Structures are given as C-alpha cells and as structure tokens.
Structure 1
C-alpha cells in the first residue's frame, strides 16, 4: 500500500526499541545473565537470537542453545536487574514525543502492542513519560495465544481499537515484529538503528532511521 495515497486510522507502536530505548540495556543484562548460566554469547548474537521475542520464547530458545533448563527464578532475576538499570539509564526514543503529539493533534488513534509484559511496560513507559499517552491502549503478547512473529497481537490490538487491519500502520524495530505485522495485513515502518536494513526490507517493512520519519509517511 505504500505506493498509494493512504489514510491510516491507527498507528500501532512496538514498545522496546520504538517508544523506549530499552533494547541496549535489556540485551546487555540478558547477555550477562546467560553467561552466568554458561551460555556465552556476544551482544550481536543476543540481538540476532532474541530481539522481538517474548521472554517466554527467549527462555525456550536459550534452553535449546544451552541444552538444559534455566533456573526457575531466571526470569525474575533478569527482570529485577533490568529494572534496576532502567531506573538509572532509560530514556525515550529520540523524537517519539513529537510523533505521539502529532498523532493526537491530527486525531489519529494510537496504541502499543509489545512482546513485553504489562509489568515491564508499566516501568518503561512510566519512566519515560509515555504512560499517560497510551493509557488504556497498551496491549501485550500475554493477551494472545501466539506472540510475534505471528500476527495475533496486531490483530487483537486493531480489534480492541475498532479499526480494520488494512487501515493500520505499525512501527516496529525487529524482524519478528515486522513479519507479524505484514502477515496481519498492515503497513510497517521498520525503525532501524542496528544495521538490519536488508533483512527488514525483505520482511516487508519500509525502513526508517529517525523516529520523526513516521511523520513524513503520515503526511
């Protein structure tokens, strides 16, 4: 649809890496936690394997790579450490406040659809001043049977917002996210700050490198 004049009724944002600059922090903490369990990975490998997946899927994949189950409290420990660093370092993605304000001014609906759980988004969106902007319009993969790269979460969000999927624009930063949104029949802007342009394009996203590029597409 990107070659046509398109009016979108809903913009669906991923959270981590799109609204909040949490990915570098979370990936670093996860890398260190996995290393303590004997799974040595570079930061690039962690990004390649896990970005865009729910934490349940992350644990499942990590256990496959490790060849044994992770401790029962692994996720709790990772989350506690991640939140601790968030409170010291987390910021909103540059330009996102301008984008959100523009959508509100133009009367375009917006919502969040994230692989993260509600507890995490409560912290990240709260710390970055974005929580009130999406109050009552925050959706998590915990609400559907299949997370990204399946389309379920995007379709659920569109349904809850009362908008046809064909009239939705998704802003994502991961391959699973882009693939899921494309499968849901939605247009996708793929926000790339990690040099994944080719893969994101092949998955069906139109790559942008600044968050304010969203405004150009809307206009």
Structure 2
C-alpha cells in the first residue's frame, strides 16, 4: 500500500488546521466544573480531544452523577466564542503546507458544520476548503469509526488506500486506520506521540514536514 501515490489529503480541523484544542480544553474544564464534573487537564486531553459527542457526554454525565439537562451548553456559548475570538490561530506551518501540496485536500471533522466554518472563518482558511468540508453530522458514526473518512473519500472520488489523513487525536488516527487509509499523527498540539503511534501511521511534530513525509510514505 505504501507504493501508491497519495491522491487526497484529508485534514482534521481542531488541533491540525486551527490551534483550538488548548482553548477548548481550558474552557471545557471551567464549564464542566460548573456542571459538577471536575476533570484534570490530563483527563481532558486523553478522553476529550477528538472524541465524538457520545463519548465525552457520557464521561461528563458519569462524573457528575446525573444526565446533562437539555440545551445545557447554551449558557456557555459566549465563553467559548469569546475565547476563540480572542485567541484562535492557524496551526503553525499549515498555510505553508496547503500552498505546497500538489494533490487535492479536504477537511473531515467530528465537529458540526457550524463550528468548523466558524473556526475556518476566524483564521482565514474557509476559502481554501469551501465545498470540501465534511462533518460527523453527515454520517451515522463519527470518529473513531471510519464512516466520516470513507464518506469524504467517496465524495472526492478517491479510493481509501490512496488517501492520507492528518490527525492530532487517538480517535482520529484509529478512524483513519479503520478506513484503510494512511495516517499522519501530528504531535505539535496536546496529544503525546505514544497515543498516535501504530500501524500505517507516521508521527511528526513539525507541520511543515508534512509534504515531504507524504512523498516518503508514497515512495
């Protein structure tokens, strides 16, 4: 499989294109504490970064000892919006990578279309991905299931084995492997390298290395 040229690069959004995971973890910790669910920063990184809504919701409800109320998140939206408006930036090196790629690319995230587009707009990346944005809301199961990546590849008309996925979370890397795609685990954010290492996966810390790594793995 490593002899096949990469024909599509699928980027995760949070933590790969935009440096949002640090912001989300900090605000999540405050919000969940107010809801009666205390988490350490390490727990948030391990269990929440890249996780589907079903997983992190169950963890919060278990920790607080009761279900979350309907629309529990609405009062806290301003906290997230204010932090993202003030602090959100592009992951260092991403624009250089997008300029350097000589193959098509798209985005596939467990986030909603609204949150994806909001963060791409905040960082000036929306035009680069317009018409090629895929959300877990488009499929039956989000990451770590392979559904989202397979949906993105099928829509873009590329076979899974010719796709490369760039991820920063264990959930995302698992989804890429399950989809039969090559995984590139970015460790310049919050997730430690040992949580991304595994079969058909290249782990790297400097985003600017990605174009060269894509060529090496396809050689």
Task: Calculate the TM-score normalised by the size of structure 2.
Answer: 0.92
Deviations 1:105-146 (A, max 9, x none): x2x110000011011111110011110000000000011111
CA contact (8 A) 1:178 1:203 kept: no
Alpha-carbon distance in structure 2 between the residues aligned to 1:213 and 1:91: 19
Provide runs of 4+ in structure 1 moved above 4 Å: none
Q: Structure 1: give runs of 5+ residues left out of the alignment.
A: none
SS at match of 1:41: coil
| 1:24 partner SS | helix
Asked if the contact 2:134/2:152 (under 8 Å) is kept, the reply is yes
Q: Which residue does 1:184 correspond to in 2? A: 179
Q: 1:195 to 1:145 in 2, by over 3 A?
A: closer
Gaps of 5+ in 2: none
Q: Deviation at 1:164?
A: 0.3
Shift of residue 60, structure 1, vs aligned partner: 2.5
The answer as to 2:19 corresponding to 1:21 is: yes
User: How many angstroms does 1:29 deviate by?
Assistant: 0.7
| Aligned pair partner of 1:122 in 117, 120, 124 | 117
2:157 to 155, 162, 169: 162
What secondary structure does 1:145 align onto?
A: coil
TM-score, with normalisation over the residues of structure 1? 0.92
61-70 or 114-123, larger mean C-alpha shift: 61-70
Q: Name the residue aligned to 1:147.
A: 142
Match of 1:201 in 2: 197
CA root-mean-square deviation = 1.5
| 8 Å CA contact retained: 1:165, 1:185 | yes
Aligned length: 214
